[in-house]
Structure formats: structure tokens, C-alpha cells
Amino acid sequence: MQFFQVLSKTQNSPRLINLILITSSLCIIYVLLSLLLFPNTKLLNLSVSVQDVPSNPTSLEHIVFGIASNKRSWPKRKEYVRLWWRPQQMRGCVFLETVMPKSTFDNDSVSLPPVCISEDTSSFHYTYRGGLRSAIRVARVVSETVALNHSDVRWFVFGDDDTVFFPENLVKTLSKYDHGLWYYIGTNSEIYVQNKFFSFDMAFGGAGFAISYPLAKVLAKVFDSCLERYPHLYGSDSRISSCLSELGVSLTREPGFHQMDIRGNMFGLLIAHPLTPLVSLHHLDVTDPIFPNMTTIKALEHLVEASKFDPHRILQQTVCYDRWFSWTISVSWGYAVQVFEHNVFLPEAVRAEETFRPWKKGNAIDTLLNLNTRRQHPDPCRRPAVFFLDKVSSGIDGIKSVYKRMIPENCTLAMVSPRRVEEIRVFSQQLNLDTKQLQAPRRHCCDVLPSSTAEVMEVGIRECGEEELIYMHP
């Protein structure tokens, strides 16, 4: 009833109507004048900045790759690139110093990146005695990749022709960072003297490194001037790092990139991978195949195939303890399982075993590592029993990976010995890491499950409880 009375009064009040019209007109005039006089001013949040609108997640389509190679190494090493390159999703170039015969590239266009010919660098000075002046050409891959002028780019990623990337993990790692800021992301060498000689603040090029789009655009503009100031440096990555340093940018370290400045058997490093997604592997020509009884390429194919089932979990180390036999089980998912025939404290179990040789022979300092390692027992029969990945499958219940003994041993076995086990089956769910888990990673737990036969061990991987400890049982 009151509503109709107010409405009636309003209809009979010309003064009130005129007042409303005048007020509205003044507000409209104010807004129009403000937009004309102060076009960049935000008025009561009427205009929304583009930066305030959430962007779509980073994907492979937002990355452009620059791969450094040469006419001598590309015919062989292109097989490394073929392992991870996805023509329908990836953009970029392999940079060579000269045009090669057409027969070299038969059937490569559907499985490899296009080839770009590097620009002439003969005008730049190179004075490092005994070094290779091709380091200048390789360094300029950065600016020449930017010059490809691709659209909708967030990151430029660079590597060598023997760098194997794990694409999903590369994307996941970069997604932690704001691509609109200046970022230079990579890793150091595993060898102390390498970092001491070159720089602890340099991303080693073989491991691969990433530069955010706005930083790369600025770097490309000034890079040639930097090259003039650093003729005395040895490598390409030193020149890139030095120029970024002049721009005031330091290295953001990501341990998922791997330079692998080692020789021989890299098993000890892979089995103790840090709690971060595996992004890259390097120096695969000078290390042993990562799986026994396989060629280097076949062994890498085996690892890459496993990673397709659970990219974020590949090489992630999980440790659990068998209460009945007092065994310690260390699972490096998608690669290998170690079984110690006694209880081992967790900090010791997760150390990298020194199965490899240093990059250079020489003084004791050449063998110093930037890693937490443990010595390999000289007696093979006293080392943990090792089971390598045989196959992976997935179903409605999760993912099953099977590991088997692949290295013959002539050991005298106790009545209760992990070497009597023939197969280990690991059950898990796919690991999907979000930004918080990437920024604050936590190791997963596992349980030794009941098994129907003594020759088979079954292990289940799961998230740890909030207050759960991973410890050996008395």
C-alpha cells in the first residue's frame, strides 16, 4: 500500500522528476569530460586492465625452441631431438652453420624442427686460446630465435642437439613463473670445478635454459654489443650469462634441468632425482645407456615412453620400509627400484650413489661434486639389489609399473635376500602437480603390500599423511 502511495506522490511531483533528470545529466557529463581530459585514469573501476584478467595456462604452444647444432653432429644427434619434438605443438629451429645436402633431411620434416642457417659471425672477435669460435654463432641462437618473430610467445627455451627435454615437465616448471617478468631459468653443473671456472650464476647450455619473452626481446636488441665486450670467454652460455648480468638479471635455478657433466654410468644420479619434475638430460653421448642391454637411443625411448603415463612422477624417488624383513625399498618411478637388505636411514637412502666418473681426470678438486652423494660399495654383492623398469600400464584402478632384475650377478644368497625377488610391481595414481606443490614439494610415501608369492614384491605409492614420517621400523 505504501509503495503505491509513494508512486502516486512521485507522479504528481514535477520538481522531483526534474531534479532526477538534472542529476543524471550532470553525472553523464562528468564521466564524458573525465574520459576526454584524463583518458588513462581509472574511474571507479569502470575500466578493467588487461593484466587483471587471468591468462590461460602456459602450454607448449607458448614456447619457442632454439636448438644449437652443426653439420657434423646433426645427422646423428637429431635422433635425440626426435625423441621429444612434437611438430604439431612446438615451434622453433635447429640452427646449423651451413646448408646441408637435401638427402640429410629426408622424412625429417614430419618429426623434427625446421633447420635455420645461422648468420655470419666472422666480424666478432674470439680470443680464448684453444677454444672454438663457433661459441659466438651458438650464442647468437638466442637473438636469432627471437628474430623468428613468432606470435603469442611466453618463453624461449634453448638447448643443444643432445639435450633431451621432457615437454610436459618443462611446461609445468615454467608455469610456476610469471612470464611477463624478466626470468632466466636453468641450472649449474654437477661438478664444482666447472662452476668455479665458468660461473655459479650461469645456466649451462647443454642442460637447457629458458628466458621469458620480455627479457628475451630486450636481450636480442643488445646482444651483439655484449659480444664485442666478451671475446675472451670460452663458451656460448658464458656470453649469454654475461649479457644478462649486464641487464641486471641473475639465474633462477631449477634442479629439473640436468647438465650431466659426468661420464660412465649415470644410474646414481637418476635414482636420486630431486623432488621436482624431470625437465632435461644432457651429454648422452659420453654416458652409458640408462637401461642395461639397450642402445642409448632405445634406453631413452624406454624412459620417455614411461613418462607418457605419468610425466610429473618420472624419476620421483619414494622410500618405504619392509617391517618383516627389515628391507629398505627405494622406488625411482619409471626407472628403477633399489632394495637394501637392511634398514637404511632415509637421508642416506636418498643420496646419489657414485656410480659415475667425473668429467675430467686430474686433481682431487676435479672430483668434487655439488651433490649429496654416497660411495658405491666395492663388492657388487653388498650393494642394493636393482630392478629396472620392464613395462608400464594404466587402467581404471591407476598405473602399474613392473621392474625386473636385468644385470646378472654371481652372489651367494642368504635364505632371506632381496636378490631372490624376481619382479617388483608398483601401483600408483597419476601425479598432477599444482603450483603450490611445485613451490613446496613433499616426497610421497609407499607401502609394501601383501604378495601371493615370494618371487614378487608389490608396492603401493600414495601421498603421506599430514604428520606421517618416513622412517625405518625397529
User: Distance (Å, rounded) from C-alpha 25 to C-alpha 366?
Assistant: 81
Do the Cβ atoms of 338 and 384 come closer than 8 Å?
A: yes
Is 302's pLDDT higher than 90? yes
User: Distance (Å, rounded) from C-alpha 246 to C-alpha 240?
Assistant: 10
215: Cα within 13 Å, side-chain hemisphere: 25
User: Distance (Å, rounded) from C-alpha 114 to C-alpha 64?
Assistant: 12
Is 49's pLDDT higher than 60? no
Do the Cβ atoms of 266 and 298 come closer than 8 Å?
A: no
Which CATH architecture is the domain 60-259 placed in?
Alpha-Beta Complex (3.90)
Do the Cβ atoms of 303 and 280 come closer than 8 Å?
A: no
Cα distance between the two ends of the chain: 82
The per-residue pLDDT for 27 is 52
The per-residue pLDDT for 34 is 53
The per-residue pLDDT for 57 is 92
Coil, helix or strand for 115? strand
User: Distance (Å, rounded) from C-alpha 97 to C-alpha 69?
Assistant: 8
The per-residue pLDDT for 416 is 86
Total Cβ atoms within 10 A of residue 13: 11
Reading the block at residue 301, the C-alpha cell is 625411448
Lowest mean pLDDT among 136-140, 275-279, 341-345, 451-455: 451-455
Total Cβ atoms within 10 A of residue 210: 27
84-87, long-range: CB < 8 A, 24+ apart: 84/164, 84/165, 84/166, 84/167, 84/304, 85/111, 85/112, 85/113, 86/60, 86/167, 87/111, 87/112, 87/113
Is 474's pLDDT higher than 80? no
The per-residue pLDDT for 105 is 62
Do the Cβ atoms of 42 and 122 come closer than 8 Å?
A: no
Angle at 388 between CA 383 and CA 390, to 5 degrees: 160
Q: Exposed, middle or buried by CB within 10 Å (0-12, 13-18, 19+), for 22?
A: exposed
User: Distance (Å, rounded) from C-alpha 201 to C-alpha 186?
Assistant: 10
Do the Cβ atoms of 199 and 190 come closer than 8 Å?
A: no
Is 20's pLDDT higher than 60? no
Task: State the pLDDT confidence band at 290, using cuts at 50, 70 and 90.
Answer: very high
Please list the residue range(s) of the chain that carry CATH number 3.90.550.50: 60-259
Percent of the chain with pLDDT over 70: 87
Reading the block at residue 19, the C-alpha cell is 531534479
